[in-house]
Amino acid sequence: MDRTGDDATVLGVAGTIHYRPARPEDGTALAELDGSFTTDFVFEVAATADGFSIRRTPVQPPLHKVFPAEDGSEDGSEDDDGPPELNRTVVAFDGDRLCGVVETSFAPWNARLTIRDIEVAPAWRGKGIGRTLMNHAFDFARECGAHHVWLEVSNINAPAIHAYLRMGFTFCGLDTSLYDGTESAGEQALFMARRVPDES
């Protein structure tokens, strides 16, 4: 790991973007991070005779989704999902502006690293920040001895799904009722996974 002049741990630097573990003082910036998106297509889930199919479907007018505020810790500190050493949150800053975050947790029983959240603010999308954050998640997966990385994404979040597909994730399951009773009712949860490759 690199270290800055003030000895704060830095996981990496790309141009003006600094990647480091989240700190308690990041709480306000994390709570205000804009993870919304706009899309003109979704991944429609349909029941078939043999199970389900997933197909890309256009929507007009384009759909805009703003995620509701989440309950619980917004400061990058670990919560009740196990010991702190099994969790890691990495933030990306451009100067003093938060531009992205990835929050992960490791489950030893099945050697799975879960991406609990990954967001990039709109002004920084398309600049490789999401991919770099995901690379930090895979670094943590290797440290933990994870066999695969797993995530859940709404079927309407087509921009994220396409990004995950480009990163090598594949569909591995779905839950058609996960969001029932929430502000996201009517959406379906798609599960995606990718094996953890050996370090090259």
Domains defined along the chain, listed by start: 2-195 (3.40.630.30)
What's CA 70's distance to the chain center, in Å? 14
| Residue 147 φ then ψ, to 5° | -90, -30
To the nearest whole number, what is the mean pLDDT of the chain? Answer: 90
- Check pLDDT > 70 for residue 6: no
User: pLDDT by residue (tens digit) across 95-119?
Assistant: 999 999 999 999 999 999 999 999 9
Evaluate if pTM is beyond 0.95: no
Dist. CA 144–CA 16, nearest whole Å? 29
C-alpha span between 190 and 170 (Å, rounded): 10
**How far is it, in rounded angstroms, from Cα 173 to Cα 106?**
19
